[in-house]
Chains A and B, each alone.
Chain A
Amino acid sequence: MYNFTYHRAGSVDAAASRLAESGDAKLLAGGMTLLPTMKQRLAQPSELIDLNEIAGLNGITVSGGTVTIGAMTRHADVAASAEVKQAIPALAKLAGLIGDPAVRNRGTIGGSIANNDPAADYPAAVVGLGATVVTNKREIAGDGFFTGMFETALDEGEIVTAVRFPVPQKAAYFKFPNPASRYAVVGVMVAKTSGGIRVAVTGAAPCVFRQSDMESALSGNFSAAALSGITQDADGLNEDIHASAEYRASLVVVGAKRAVAEIA
């Protein structure tokens, strides 16, 4: 790891202004992606601004049909939360599938979505549940948050402070993990929300996407059978030594069917 200066932020505002002053600083959330990347010398920020000691940036509240999760909330806490399990069990399950227990004790939702790894799980939840991303500057609809591989709608220096999930009628998440890295080769979140059916797919493509053919089919008939005619186009899907694009395409359909079967 190259060296850097370390700054422990006391508040979001302080972190934001530090970020603005120092041209080449990065925010340190859980560190479960940033630190390994720095260890491999693929990133070398001149400064790290640590968000872990900012009071009030973590926490889960459920009220009025909304689950609000602070940006620094650990995956383990989302997975174990009785309120999340009660309100959106698919979300708790998804959080419990990220990494391993030790990684879940540090990794955060804010860090995950700000990074937007194509194989991460949370993007499927944010898009699949129609969540809203709250930052220190504004609110961004989940559908517009993830803009490309490792790219988000966040402006320079903008910091995620929370994610608000409307409680769906039903939702389910199916993940097919890479046997080596355990990241999502394909992850599918299916949700029946007040705004309609949502099917969000992560892992398969460079960025999370909504599967509109499936959403249409399920709108008419919310059952696994409704998906039997649907295929996922392999064009543009990720291809690597563990999974071809065709295989991923097939898993998208299988994943969606299984998720629907769980909750239909």
Chain B
Amino acid sequence: MTAETGIGARVRRKEDVRFITGRGRYTDDINRPGQLHAVFARSPHAHARIRSLDTSNAETSPGVVAVLTGADLATDGIGPLPCGWMIHSRDGSPMKQPPHPALSVGTVRYVGEPYAVVIGETRAAAQAGADLLDPDFEELPANVDTASAQSTAPIHEGIPNNLCYDWTLGDEAATDAALASAVHVIELDIVNNRLIPNAIEPRAALGDYDAGTDMLTLYTTSQNPHLARLVLSAFVGLAPEHKLRVVSPDVGGGFGSKIFIYSEETVCGWASKRLRRPVKWTADRSEAFLNDAHGRDHVSKARLALDANGKFLGLKVSTIANLGAYMSTFSSSIPTYLYGTLLAGQYTTPAIFVEVRSVFTNTTPVDAYRGAGRPEATFLLERIVETAARELGMDPAELRRKNMVPKDAFPYATPVALVYDTGDYQACLDKALALSDYAGFPARRAAAKARGKLRGIGLSCYIEACGLAPSRLAGQLGAGVGLYESAEIRVNPTGNVTVFTGTHSHGQGHETTFAQVVSSRLGIGLDQIEVVHGDTSQGQFGMGTYGSRSLAVGGSAIMKASDKIVAKGRKIAAYLLEARPEDIDFEDGVFRVRGTNQAKTFGEIAFAAYVPHNYPLEELEPGLQETAFYDPQNFTYPAGAYVCEVEVDPETGVTRIVKFTAVDDFGQVINPMIVEGQVHGGIAQGIGQAMLEACRYDRESGQLLTGSMMDYAMPRADDLVNFDLDVVRTDCTHNPLGAKGCGEAGAIGSPPAVINAITDAIGVRTLDMPATPLKVWTALQAGSAAVKGS
């Protein structure tokens, strides 16, 4: 049983049945009797003062029930939307946190910012009402550019240089010394392009207030319903926590964008309470483009010091990170502790220093997007390492190999705060080079050249820190929350099991993988296990799903709870079998007196616990249900090596991916099929960043130029290839599963491999993402012009 259904098995997913038959239950599928519909009025300007807002025609429009603004929210004591991570600047001062109202008060600061809500009996009525709003805007100068934000007009009072914080990490003196004395110093300017998450399910919310019980239920597309409930009650003031129920039903993808607390669910919850009727909102895709938190958007300068043999001596990085117009729930942590701490990569660089200035601009707020800080670090590092290899005339694989942390050097303390538990980076690289036939590339390049095409190959050796997070450490670094995870295992009297997890699967397959963990631990069939998540009225507090944490932290909580179940079961079995607990073995669902065939099944023990007639009531309570909270001791450190081979058509700049190879070390995996799917999806998003996805704002007007999929190129099936995957396994040393997590690695490791390949193909030193056909063609023209000129 357990070989096919336990840990390590490629079990087909239980949750699929409802999705493949159209019986999934997403937030927009939910309707409540008497519900009203909300339409948000959004700023058409990047920066403007709202001189006045005449709502009278909207209010009297047929079917409109209410028109509400930021002033109404303030009167009711709602908001603002908080940022939950305090960052201090190098001078010790706390970050500048301008208020982020859920509906604008006085000033709008990005195109799409919601400044009013119209609530009507139907969506059409609310929209017709919104069309009759009469705002009077006074346009103000707008800046959308990250690099220049510190010298353009301030967009918040009291923050004259638009600087939220100036944060540093590492030893500046040691790093400067390394750079000063190095034989080689490689310098590189790097841009990490802004991305728009675009989960295919648009965000939605339905607030449903019951005046009879004073209970507010909020259905919302959240990756973390319990956390949403905490923030909405304790910080935003929607309702006391015990009078607020948050339900995240099936959620159609998140990638980070559905972690945060936004205006719309806040307003739907509040409006429902105010109007005493359900209030529903669903984004259309254009709203999602404007208002879902964007990702990335860094501008960096990096310098890498090497000795004569190519050993890395020091890395100095200076980054400007765009926060957007307001802080989002975790936005301060992404370009700081989730970024700077990864700049050692897989290497033994002894001295590292990073300075990050996060700035406000008149753009959509920026926060975590798949990888959240680690793709930015990995891209910078793997691009400068590649550049160093090329300039030193060394093979890129060999330069990396020579600097990798050796496999016997763990635990390895990096100069940027992290302690890697274990890894075998050379093995990943070896496997990736073999699987990609790296050695055969020169011949393939020559053959392509004969056909008039340019081939290139690029490596990326990544490491990431996930399994968020050790609470105490997170708190020291500024987190306003803990990052443990929880599990309750409720054994039913009939012997089947309900598992409540504080994580929230939105595509990751927890209903199957968590059941596999429990199945293998309790020795019962997968069909005997129900995994429940997503409803704060069912199950205990947990922190949700993001940061590749659900298995490493949530799964570990499940292991702990399982262990408690087995421990209690052993005591019950001992009583029933008239033996001592220490003489009872538990295996394959059976409690057995060692060396005999005196045994009880799990089901018999469960029944005994709930019908305790023959039972040690003096020592043991009835029932069989255990809760565990697991706080990790450290981050986990998945790592791997990726190889991308491309072929460029020099006449058009069109690049096609010939082959993409990924070797990852995730430690113990529960379901390899699901893990491969996570890697596929992550690589697709990484390739999207590297080749297709450009989020562009107009520099003059601040308008979002790429406001739909007509201009923002989402990866399609014909943009991609099948991915060649393999694994190396070094188990995490500090959690009971030995699991490192896998959700973001693909998006972290892939962009540098792609850009390393394309720059190799066309022979340029640097190329910004996305490497669109226009960009590649232009670089080729410039290159040939340079040749012609010389």
Contacts and interface: CB of A to CB of B under 8 A. Distances in A.
User: Touch between A and B in complex, CB under 8 Å?
Assistant: yes
Interface of A: 176, 179-181, 241-244, 247, 250-251, 254
Contacts of B773: 176, 179
Per DSSP, are chain A's interface residues mostly helix, strand or loop, or mixed? loop
B714 A247 contact: no
A147 B654 CA distance: 32
Given A241-B696, A241-B706, A247-B778, A179 B652 contact: no
A180 B705 contact: no
Contacts of A243: 774
B652 A180 contact: no
Contacts of A251: 652
Nearest to A251: B652
Contact of B774 (A180, A181, A242, A254): A242
B652 A244 contact: no
Given A244-B774, A254-B652, 10 more contacts: A176-B773, A179-B692, A179-B773, A180-B711, A180-B714, A181-B709, A241-B705, A242-B772, A247-B774, A254-B651
Nearest to A3: B124
Contacts of B694: 241
B281 interface: no
A179 B775 CA distance: 13
Contacts of A180: 692, 706, 709-714
A244 B772 CA distance: 12
Interface string B694-728: 10100000000110011111100001000000000
A244 B653 CA distance: 13
B591 interface: no
Max count, chain A CB within 10 A of own CB: residue among B710, B772, B773: B773
For the complex of A and B, list the 4 residue pairs with the smallest distance between their C-beta atoms, beginning with the closest. Answer: A180-B713, A179-B713, A181-B710, A254-B651
A181 B651 contact: no
Contact of B777 (A179, A241, A250): A250
Interface string B751-790: 0000000000000000000001110011000000000000
A90 B705 CA distance: 35
19 contacts: A176-B652, A176-B654, A176-B773, A179-B692, A179-B719, A180-B710, A180-B711, A180-B712, A180-B713, A181-B709, A241-B694, A241-B696, A241-B705, A242-B774, A244-B778, A247-B778, A250-B651, A251-B652, A254-B652
A30 to B, nearest CB: 18
A179 B652 CA distance: 13
Contacts of B778: 244, 247
B651 A241 contact: no
B362 to A, nearest CB: 19
Contacts of A242: 711, 772, 774
- Residue among A179, A181, A242, A251 with the most chain B CB within 10 A? A179
Chain B at the A interface: SS class: loop
Nearest to B709: A180
Contacts of B714: 180
A241 B654 CA distance: 16
A263 to B, nearest CB: 19
Interface of B: 651-654, 692, 694, 696, 705-706, 709-714, 719, 772-774, 777-778
A38 B287 CA distance: 17
A241 B770 CA distance: 12
B650 to A, nearest CB: 10
A70 to B, nearest CB: 29
A79 to B, nearest CB: 16
Give the residue among A176, A241, A243, A254 with the most B Cβ atoms within 10 A: A241
Nearest to B778: A247
A211 B692 CA distance: 31
A189 B470 CA distance: 62
A191 to B, nearest CB: 22
Contact of B772 (A179, A181, A250): A179
A241 B697 CA distance: 11
A251 B778 CA distance: 12
A180 B691 CA distance: 11
Contacts of B692: 179-180
A179 B770 CA distance: 12
Contacts of A181: 709-711
A42 to B, nearest CB: 12
B777 A247 contact: yes
Contacts of B705: 241
B425 to A, nearest CB: 34
Nearest to A1: B124
B188 to A, nearest CB: 25
Contacts of B706: 180, 241
A258 to B, nearest CB: 9
Nearest to B698: A241
Contacts of B772: 179, 242
A80 B709 CA distance: 28
B652 A241 contact: no
A179 B774 CA distance: 11
Contacts of A176: 652, 654, 773
Nearest to A255: B652
A40 to B, nearest CB: 8
Contacts of B711: 180-181, 241-242
Interface centre among B694, B709, B711, B719, by most A CB within 10 Å? B711
A44 B719 CA distance: 35
A100 B652 CA distance: 23
Nearest to A244: B774
A179 B706 CA distance: 13
Nearest to A182: B716
A29 B355 CA distance: 58
Instruction: With a 10 A CB-CB cut-off, give which of B692, B711, B719, B774 has the most chain A CB atoms.
Output: B774
A36 B719 CA distance: 25
Nearest to A176: B652
A244 B773 CA distance: 11
A2 to B, nearest CB: 9
Nearest to A243: B774
Contacts of B709: 180-181
B286 to A, nearest CB: 8
B698 to A, nearest CB: 10
A242 B654 CA distance: 12
Contacts of A247: 653, 774, 777-778
B634 to A, nearest CB: 41
B344 to A, nearest CB: 35
A180 B774 CA distance: 13
B574 to A, nearest CB: 64
A65 B705 CA distance: 47
B135 to A, nearest CB: 18
Contacts of A241: 694, 696, 705-706, 711
A256 to B, nearest CB: 12
A125 to B, nearest CB: 22
A187 B778 CA distance: 20
A180 B711 CA distance: 5
Nearest to B124: A3
Nearest to B777: A247
A176 B706 CA distance: 20
A244 to B, nearest CB: 7
Contacts of B652: 176, 251, 254
Nearest to B714: A180
A157 B712 CA distance: 36
A181 B716 CA distance: 11
A182 to B, nearest CB: 8
